[in-house]
Each structure stands twice: as structure tokens, then as C-alpha cells.
Amino acid sequence: MNPAVVEQLRKIAGRDAVLDRPEDLMLYEYDAGIRKSTPGAVVFPQTTNQVSQIMRLASSAQVPVVARGAGTGLSGGAISREGGIVVAFSRMNRILEIDVENQRAVVQPGVVNLQLSEHVSHLGLYFAPDPSSQKACTIGGNVAENSGGPHTLMYGVTVNHVTGVEVVMPSGEVVHFGGKAAESYGYDMTGFFVGSEGTIGITTAITVKLLRKPEKVATLLAIFETVDDAGQTVSAITAAGITPAALEMLDGWTLRTIEAYCHAGYPLDAGAVLLIELDGLRESVEEHAEAVQAVCLQQKAREVRRAKTEEERALLWKGRKTAFGALGRVSPSYYTQDGVVPRSKIPATLAHIGEVSKKYDLIIGNIFHAGDGNLHPLILFDIRFPDQLERALAASKDILEYCIAVGGSITGEHGVGMEKRDLMPVLFTQEDLDVMAGLRNAFNSENLLNPDKLLPTPRMCREIFGAARNPVLVQEGM
């Protein structure tokens, strides 16, 4: 990177707040996905004003910028373009305000997801979005990717819990969308911003909802002989008029792998299990727990266990939430997908994933948010063998195309990022994508802010020919 730009970054953020040595930059070249790209510098701002100055600098020096939280994303959202600036938010990690009466918190983007819930726990409150990486991932990253988690089924993804944002625009201007009210008149810029994957602006303060902790929680483990039986049960629970807080599925291979790692008490000989959580008023939780148990047994569950203590409950969730660590023990690399299908298509989709596994000769585990049809097939491979990576990518594409074909989507909570943007044209028409690109270009006119994300590869005329008034999309290579 141009040393003058690095020097400017040091002036803005402080001498100890910029990294540019190759050995340091290597730590910022990847996220939890599989893409890599080395930035030219990493800067750690401490204030909104510094972020604003960094944006102005990037614009005048024509260097691409990407915001980064904890780097736990799975779609390459936080990966820089080669030689770009990474704005890392680990020093903007303060909880700015807890407003109990308004049921809101205002946080800086670097606040760790779980840390917020722990911070307000004594008030009987919590922050609902709970990605599996919640011990590490940041709320700024959750906002960028519109992250979900197991309890999304009942409570919604991040956008349903954000009511206001402070945003630094690519020009360096600091603007505000929304506030503490649940909704605001005028265009819902807050809702549009959440999930824009860092392509519209960089958020520096986020107003989120705090929910009251449920009075009662029941956690059930339903054990099935086959994946198909478990899949059918998901629809049957919904048909019974019950919306659990969370409804997760683990297939036999995955739960055995996890059990060997963390001894959560999962049955080793099962075909699949459903991890079902109900929460709310004591009376309704009891009724629903009994009803769910009855549905599971009708749908050929071998056994339904219920956590008797908070420790038992925590153990069941520990297995679910540390699954990725467990898989790391048995495979050098794995590729996690995030496709979504209508709930009723889960059994057919799992059967298809089984065929894909055979076709590409790769082990594929399934551990996912069954209640809302959000699949996470884990494709195991060894990155040291290029043909295996190729097969893993091909298998992944095959699965996502199947999801789209049955009326689903390519991402439920991880974002499009770099890895899925070339599938966007399968989901959206060129006209749909042109409208989205029009919005991106209007806010991020030089496309310096998180380029190469969310929208597919076509290059804009303006990038080739300079700033066109009304950019027209042309295919790459034209």
C-alpha cells in the first residue's frame, strides 16, 4: 500500500492503530468462509469521526474499504479487495446506553453479540439474534449481514431488532436513520441498511431492541431413526399450530461427530435429532411442550427427552453451538452453506443433499435451523487437494440451485458476500439486479466501499468508462 496513505491512517487513528506489515496483514486476509485476500492496511478507529476521516481518505486516495468485526462471517463479507483498507472495529466496542424504559440499547459496532445479552441479563433483558458464533461475532457484523441464529424462528433476524443506526457514508458524511421508536415514518432506511453487507455505508452506532427474558423455557430433544422422519416432524409441528422459539435438526453423522467432541448427551445410534425449544408464559410453554412431544411421537420419534435443569439445557445447546469446532477435528476444511427451502420441502431437500454427497464423493453433514427451512449443509474436504475444493464448490452450487428450484433462497442469515454473488442471477432477474445496483451506485458511487460483494460480477460501465450518469450493466469481459 502507498506509504503516504498508511501514514495518513496513523495520523487519523493513532500510531498504534494501524497495521501494514505482511505478517500482521495475514491475520486479516480471511473470514470463516473459504476466500482469502490480503489487505494493504488494517486500521482500528476509536471514534465515529475517525471513521469519517478514513472514508474521506479512502475516497481521495481511491482505495477500497471494508468494515470488519470479528471475521466470523461465512460468505467473505469482511474480506478486503487485494491492497484495500480494512476498518476493524475491535476498539469501538462500547455499550453506549442501556435504556430500560424504552427497551433499547445503543452500542458501538464492535460490541460482541453475547456480551450485550450478558450485560443486561441482571435486568431480565436480552438481545434476541443469536448466531452460533455469538461468543465472538460483533453486532456491527450482525447488522451488515442481517444475521440470524436458532431463535430466529420465533424472534426474527437482526433487521427485526434494529430500530436506528448512525452511518458513515462513503463521502465521510455521518447520517442517522431511525431511532428508538419501533418504526419511523419516511422511507425505512434503517431496514434497508441492515443486510446491505457494508456496501452502502459503515455503521458506527446501532440502536437495538432488548427483549424481556421469557418466564419459562422448555428444551426438548426428539430422537428419530431416520432423517426423513425428523424432516416430516418439522412440518407436523407447524401444522399443529405451534411456533417453537427454536427448532434445530442434526443428522446422525453430525451428532456423532459432535458427541465425540463435547459429550452433550446426544444418542450415538440415531438417524437424526430435533432440538426444540419453547418459551414464553409458563402455562403456554407447558401445553406446547406436551403437544410437541405428542407430535414427535406420532411422527415415529423413538424418544423425546426434556432438559430437566438449566445445566442439561445448556449442554444440549453447547452441542449445537460448538458443532463447527467439532467438525474441525475430523476434517481439515469444511464449507458451510446457508440455503433456505420452504419447510415442507426439507425431507426432499435432505434426500437431494444425500445424492449430492454421493455424486461428488464428499461427506456432507447437516445441522441446521429446520423450523424456518434454513439449511447448513457442511461439506467436508481437504483444501490441500485442489480437486476436492472444486468438488466442494460444485456440490455447494448444486445444493443452492436445488434450493432455488423448490422456491427457496441462497442465504438465510450469512449474506451473499463474495461467495454467492454469482448465484444472484439465478434468484433475481437482470432487471431486479439493475435496480439494486442502481441503489448501490447512488450511495457508493465509486464502488470503493466493500466492492465485489452482494451483487454479481458484471462490471459497471462507470468503472470502465468513468462516472456514467446512468450506469448500464455489462457482463464481465465485454
- Touching other proteins, residues 432-471 (CB under 8 A): 432-436, 438-440, 442-443, 454-455
Segment 144 to 163, residues that bind other proteins, using CB under 8 A: 145-146, 148, 152, 156-157, 159-160
Task: Say whether 266 sits in a helix, a strand or coil.
Answer: coil
Of the residues 7, 82, 215, 422, which one makes contact with other proteins according to CB under 8 A: 215
Are 237 and 292 in contact by the 8 Å Cβ rule? The answer is yes
Nearer to other proteins, 27 or 182 (CB): 182
- 187 is an interface residue for other proteins by CB under 8 A: yes
In sequence order, the 6+-apart residues with CB closer than 8 A to the CB of 173 are 52
Q: Name the minimum Å distance from CB 241 to other proteins.
A: 4
Nearer to other proteins, 1 or 439 (CB): 439
The Cβ of residue 355 has, within 10 Å, a number of other Cβ atoms equal to 11
Task: Say whether 98 sits in a helix, a strand or coil.
Answer: strand
Range in contact with other proteins (rule: CB under 8 A) among 263-271, 317-325, 328-336, 411-419: 411-419
- 122 is an interface residue for other proteins by CB under 8 A: no
Q: Name the minimum Å distance from CB 306 to other proteins.
A: 19
Of the residues 27, 260, 281, 468, which one makes contact with other proteins according to CB under 8 A: 281
Decide the pairing of beta strands 41-43 and 211-212: unpaired
- 427 is an interface residue for other proteins by CB under 8 A: yes
Q: How far apart are CA 112 and CA 90, in angstroms?
A: 9
DSSP state of 201: -
Nearer to other proteins, 13 or 341 (CB): 341
- 189 is an interface residue for other proteins by CB under 8 A: yes
Segment 244 to 273, residues that bind other proteins, using CB under 8 A: none
Which residue pairs, CB below 8 angstroms and at least 24 apart, start in 89-94? Answer: 89/44, 89/45, 89/138, 89/140, 90/44, 91/17, 91/44, 91/45, 91/46, 92/45, 92/46, 92/47, 92/51, 92/140, 92/204, 93/138
Q: Name the minimum Å distance from CB 29 to other proteins.
A: 25
Element of type H or E holding 352: helix 346-360
Range in contact with other proteins (rule: CB under 8 A) among 88-96, 236-244, 348-356, 388-396: 236-244
- 422 is an interface residue for other proteins by CB under 8 A: no
- 65 is an interface residue for other proteins by CB under 8 A: no
Are 104 and 208 in contact by the 8 Å Cβ rule? The answer is yes
Segment 77 to 116, residues that bind other proteins, using CB under 8 A: 99, 101-104
252-262 and 323-330 helices cross at what angle (nearest 10)? 90
N- to C-terminal Cα separation, the chain? 29
- 415 is an interface residue for other proteins by CB under 8 A: yes
Nearer to other proteins, 270 or 367 (CB): 367
Q: Name the minimum Å distance from CB 281 to other proteins.
A: 6
Q: Name the minimum Å distance from CB 174 to other proteins.
A: 9
From the DSSP assignment, how many helices (H) and strands (E) are in the chain?
17, 20
Of the residues 414, 419, 451, 453, which one makes contact with other proteins according to CB under 8 A: 414
Are 92 and 103 in contact by the 8 Å Cβ rule? The answer is no
Segment 349 to 378, residues that bind other proteins, using CB under 8 A: 369, 372-374
Q: Which of 340, 92, 302 is nearest to 204 (CA)?
A: 92
Q: In the block, which residue shows the cell 433476524?
A: 157
- 59 is an interface residue for other proteins by CB under 8 A: no
Task: Count the residues of the shown chain that bind other proteins, applying the rule CB under 8 A.
Answer: 88
Q: Name the minimum Å distance from CB 375 to other proteins.
A: 11
Of the residues 115, 409, 447, 450, which one makes contact with other proteins according to CB under 8 A: 409
Nearer to other proteins, 256 or 369 (CB): 369
Nearer to other proteins, 5 or 234 (CB): 234
In sequence order, the 6+-apart residues with CB closer than 8 A to the CB of 96 are 106, 107, 108, 205
Of the residues 50, 134, 238, 450, which one makes contact with other proteins according to CB under 8 A: 238
